[in-house]
Amino acid sequence: MTIEEKDLLLKDLTARLRYRVCAKQYYSAFEDDFIIEGIIGEQIYAAYNSIFSMTYPVEKIKPYLRPLSSMTKKEKEEIAFIRDRDFQSVRKWVYDESIKETGNVCPVTCGEIDYCNKRHLDYRGLIEKGLALEAPEGMYRIE
């Protein structure tokens, strides 16, 4: 894992902490799933239950995320509403690597990013980069 990939993963996980993202560790002989409870430096704090916890190096874990293609019709409508609502507010500009090459930018509101984090949607392309795993259907309770 490159320094840039590690930084991208840490940024993404930090933003998702409050939404209890699941991950898989590849540090020991056993590949366990866990819920990320915190980040200490470049160590991921993993909670297995109220008694047992561990820390793992960030390069030895992969979060489970949902690809954008898994969005439901309702989620697409909700994110469109958020985009319309936030249109007049302060905007955050996010540059996708493929867009960077053409010089075009893709404006995304902070509300959209918050929504994607809450729904465990992979808006950074971590699955395609091999930094995250596709979440099995039903892993995250989507209301």
Write the DSSP string, 8-38.
Answer: HHHHHHHHHGGG--EEEE-SSSS--EEEEEE
**Percent residues over pLDDT 90 in the chain:** 48
Question: What pLDDT shows up at residue 17?
Answer: 93
Q: Return the half-sphere exposure (C-beta side, CA atoms, 13 A cut-off) of residue 93.
A: 7
The span from the CA of 140 to the CA of 138, in Å, is: 5
Question: What pLDDT shows up at residue 39?
Answer: 92
Question: What pLDDT shows up at residue 141?
Answer: 80
Angle (CA) 68 107 79, round 5° = 45
Question: What pLDDT shows up at residue 138?
Answer: 87
Please identify every stretch of the chain with a pLDDT value under 70, giving residue numbers as ranges.
Answer: 49-50, 86-107, 143
Q: Return the half-sphere exposure (C-beta side, CA atoms, 13 A cut-off) of residue 37.
A: 13
Which residues on adjacent β-strands are paired with residue 62? 24
Strands (E) in 43-130, as ranges, are: 43-47, 53-57, 61-65, 92-94, 106-108
pLDDT in tens, 101-140: 555 555 577 888 999 999 999 999 999 999 999 999 889 9
Residue ranges of domains in the chain: 1-65+125-135, 72-118
The span from the CA of 33 to the CA of 122, in Å, is: 18
Tell me which of 2.20.220, 2.60.40, 2.30.30, 2.40.50 is the CATH number of domain 1-65+125-135: 2.30.30
Question: What pLDDT shows up at residue 1?
Answer: 87
Q: Which of 36, 21, 15, 38 shows the shortest CA–CA distance to 112?
A: 15
Within 10 A of 13 (CB to CB), how many other CB atoms are there? 21
The span from the CA of 119 to the CA of 69, in Å, is: 13
